[in-house]
Amino acid sequence: MTALRIFFIGGGISYRALFNWISPWHYIPTMLGGTLFVLLFFTYLGRYTDVEDESFFVVGNAVYISSISCVYGSIMAIANERFLGTLSPLLATPANRLALFAGRALPYIANGIVVSAYGFAMSWLLLDFDPPASSLGPLAIVVTAGVVSCTAFGMFLGSIGLRARDVFFIGNLAYYVLLLFTGANVPLDVLPGWMQTISSGLPLTHAITAAREVVAGAPFSSVAGLTGEELLVGTCYAVAAYALFRLFEIEARRRASLERV
């Protein structure tokens, strides 16, 4: 029961404390305003390039914009504990480390799902995007898998940020790498072979492909493999993230290194 309280309540308090989630006016411009312009920009750009049909860009970007929460938020959820000076007191507690770590991911998973759903809703309202009703359930599953995987990727980068000097550089780099490598706006089959290899190990790549197939009318059974691959990628990042977190905690007790900037 204590671990569950740390997981849910601790994660929620951390979200509010580190990101000033006090007023909707902090949330709306960042998570809803900015993501809408990303969606509209790339969809209109794609409309006039005739590389693919408009649905290609709508679906790709509606899934991709969840990374703003999953990557930036998750990185700061871990690394900001160090930069704000709260990491040492946190690690001095006897709290369950897995619950402590995983609980910080939960708000960003929920946030990423909300942002992606908002992107699809605005596409329906502004871009005449009208997927079949039968695709909405499978689409929700695929998007959730992508968001979970992307959040695990963000937590992995956040754990690196416990040692790195410039965590914001890491976040910016990861955000644009996902934009270029996941096929959100460029078909994967036109990318160079080395980029396709990298993309297969990144979050959102398989989710975006699966989402496009579902919107085109494919049943969930035909994209179950892609969804499983997306979750496998996320699991690998989650394990690596927690392993780094624990490694740096152990090293910190020996060298007092986590507070170094």
Which one has a higher pLDDT value, 16 or 200? 200
**Residue 9 structural domain:** 2-255
211 with 142: CB under 8 angstroms? yes
- The answer to whether residue 186 scores a pLDDT higher than 80 is yes
- The answer to whether residue 18 scores a pLDDT higher than 80 is no
- The answer to whether residue 153 scores a pLDDT higher than 90 is yes
Q: pLDDT digits over 95-144, tens only?
A: 667 777 777 788 889 889 999 999 999 999 999 899 999 999 999 999 99
Mean of per-residue pLDDT scores for the chain: 84
130 with 124: CB under 8 angstroms? yes
- State mean pLDDT over 156-179: 83
Q: Give the pLDDT band (50/70/90) at residue 84.
A: low
Residue 260 lies in a domain: no
Written as six digits, the tokens of 245 are: 């977190």
Q: What is the DSSP string of 149-188?
A: HHHHHHHHHHHHTTT-S-HHHHHHHHHHHHHHHSSSSS-G
Give the pLDDT confidence score for residue 118 in this predicted structure.
94
According to the per-residue pLDDT averaged within each range, which of 3-12, 172-181, 246-255 is highest? 172-181
- State mean pLDDT over 29-56: 86
Q: pLDDT digits over 212-259, tens only?
A: 999 999 999 999 999 999 999 999 999 999 898 888 777 766 766 655
CB 42: neighbour CB atoms within 10 A? Answer: 19
Residue 8 lies in a domain: yes
Which one has a higher pLDDT value, 15 or 31? 31
User: How far is 242 from 133, CA to CA, in rounded Å?
Assistant: 39
Q: What is the DSSP string of the chain?
A: -HHHHIIIIIHHHHHHHHHTTTSHHHHIIIIIIHHHHHHHHHHHHHHHHTSS-HHHHHHHHHHHTTHIIIIIIHHHHHHHHHHTT-HHHHHHS---HHHHHHHTTHHHHHHHHHHHHHHHHHHHHHS-----GGGHHHHHHHHHHHHHHHHHHHHHHHHHTTT-S-HHHHHHHHHHHHHHHSSSSS-GGGS-HHHHHHHTTSTTHHHHHHHHHHHTT--HHHHHHHHHHHHHHHHHHHHHHHHHHHHHHHHHHHH--TT--
Residue 131 lies in a domain: yes
- The answer to whether residue 19 scores a pLDDT higher than 70 is no
Residue 19 lies in a domain: yes
Q: Give the pLDDT band (50/70/90) at residue 47.
A: confident
Give the pLDDT confidence score for residue 152 in this predicted structure.
93
Percent of the chain topping pLDDT 70: 78
Residue 143 lies in a domain: yes
Written as six digits, the tokens of 183 are: 């096929």
Residue 42 lies in a domain: yes
152 with 220: CB under 8 angstroms? no
pTM score: 0.87
Residue 170 lies in a domain: yes
The total number of structural domains in the chain stands at 1
Percent of the chain topping pLDDT 90: 46
Residue 36 lies in a domain: yes
